[in-house]
Amino acid sequence: MKPTSLGPRLVKRAFDLSVASIALLLLSPLLLGVAIAVRLDSPGPVFYRQQRVGRGGRIFRIHKFRTMAHAPQGGGPLLTVGEDRRITRIGRFLRHSKWDELAQLIDVWRGDMSIVGPRPEVPRYVAHYPEALRTQVLSVKPGITDDCSLDFRDESDWLARSADPERTYVDEILPIKLALQARYVADASLLTDVRIVARTAAVLLGRIAGRRKASPPTSQP
């Protein structure tokens, strides 16, 4: 599925809307319950919105269920490392289960994101992308899920072991993520998206055995 061709892009958009519609319908009780829990757990809005870089470098504001204490001035580090004190009680569960990301079904409906695609990054870290990889990775809409985000789902736990988490992220993690995301863009197809959605559902339901927690991949594919 070539993302730059009109036909495949329309097919992908139809897939996105179909999956988002079914998910919103089936998960509506869960989403409502999460929203209520977030409001009752700590003061502040239900959603956390942050600037991310989308297709073609366009800036948009992503939706997440809020998992941290509300900071009106938007202060604090961009990376979440280990047992971050900013994380609320319900937020810790939402992060572990990845249910906080379900709010991005809104962004799929708005057309800012796809169900499957490279995870959108904040402008600060996009500035570190090599030019060629930046062009390739940003040639498609960012997604709620991809193989890279599933492989790195416990990233904050082992970042906590680094003396300089941000430097570790930029120098060690980001290059691996970009390689995986570039491979997705190069090989993207409807079948690939269906496979990743199925894998994501299995992860969310806790059906994947031997979940990798200790470390990320150590070499680029």
Domain residue ranges of the chain, discontinuous segments joined by +: 6-204
Q: Is the pLDDT of residue 162 over 90?
A: no
Provide mean pLDDT across the span 157-182.
90
Output the pLDDT for position 77.
63
Q: Is the pLDDT of residue 207 over 80?
A: no
Provide mean pLDDT across the span 98-119.
95
Distances (CA, A) of 28 to 4, 34, 96: 33, 10, 20
Which H or E run includes 49?
strand 47-53
Angle of the 190-204 helix axis to the 6-41 helix axis, nearest 10: 20
Output the pLDDT for position 157.
77
Output the pLDDT for position 86.
86
Distances (CA, A) of 193 to 64, 87, 114, 189, 196: 22, 31, 10, 6, 5
Provide mean pLDDT across the span 169-198.
94
